């Protein structure tokens, strides 16, 4: 007998770094704190494409993912599960972050680590990821993520 599928939600989160600055998004929901560009992966979309789309929608910044910081899997007691991929990315140009609120966010800002205390963050993970990247924490290659059935990377 076949098992029932497990409802699973997939998310891309993005730590965007430009020199000594990191990108924060002023969220419209969750009590309007500041957070990383992040959102659900849509059907037919790769994790990296979701990272690009969410960062553009929420912050107005075009990015290129450079690597994977972590893949997280969180099974819940209610029979669902969540999977998050946290990317490191760089901006593609010097465009300023979004400053006009819309349905995606209230705006965005570039901040240095010494300025982050001025922002009400959604959680400490924002500061922790910024510090991790600033301190040179390992970044895994993008090839870590692949579509099922793709051949292994060539050596």
Task: Dump pLDDT digits (tens) for 59-105.
Answer: 999 999 999 999 999 998 888 999 999 999 999 999 999 999 999 99
| Pair of tokens at residue 86 | 């946290």
Instruction: Evaluate if residue 33 carries a pLDDT over 80.
Output: yes
What pLDDT, on the 0 to 100 scale, is given for residue 154? 80
pTM summary value: 0.94
CA distance 108 to 27: 9
What pLDDT, on the 0 to 100 scale, is given for residue 153? 80
Which has the closest alpha carbon to 89: 137, 40, 52?
52
Residue 71 three-state SS: strand
The band of 155, judged by pLDDT with boundaries at 50, 70 and 90, is confident
């Amino acid at each position: 007998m076949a098992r029932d599928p497990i409802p699973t939600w997939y998310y891309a989160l993005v730590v965007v770094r430009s020199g000594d600055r990191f990108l924060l998004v002023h969220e419209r929901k969750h009590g309007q704190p500041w957070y990383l560009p992040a959102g659900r992966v849509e059907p037919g979309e790769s994790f990296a494409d979701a990272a690009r789309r969410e960062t553009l929608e929420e912050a107005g910044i075009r990015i290129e993912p450079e690597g994977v910081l972590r893949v997280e899997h969180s099974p819940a007691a209610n029979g669902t599960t969540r999977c998050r991929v946290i990317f490191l990315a760089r901006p593609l140009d010097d465009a300023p972050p979004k400053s006009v609120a819309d349905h995606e966010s209230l705006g965005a800002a570039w901040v240095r680590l010494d300025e982050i205390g001025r922002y009400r963050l959604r959680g400490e993970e924002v500061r922790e990821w910024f510090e991790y990247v600033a301190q040179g924490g390992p970044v895994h290659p993008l090839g870590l993520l692949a579509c099922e059935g793709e051949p292994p990377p060539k050596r």
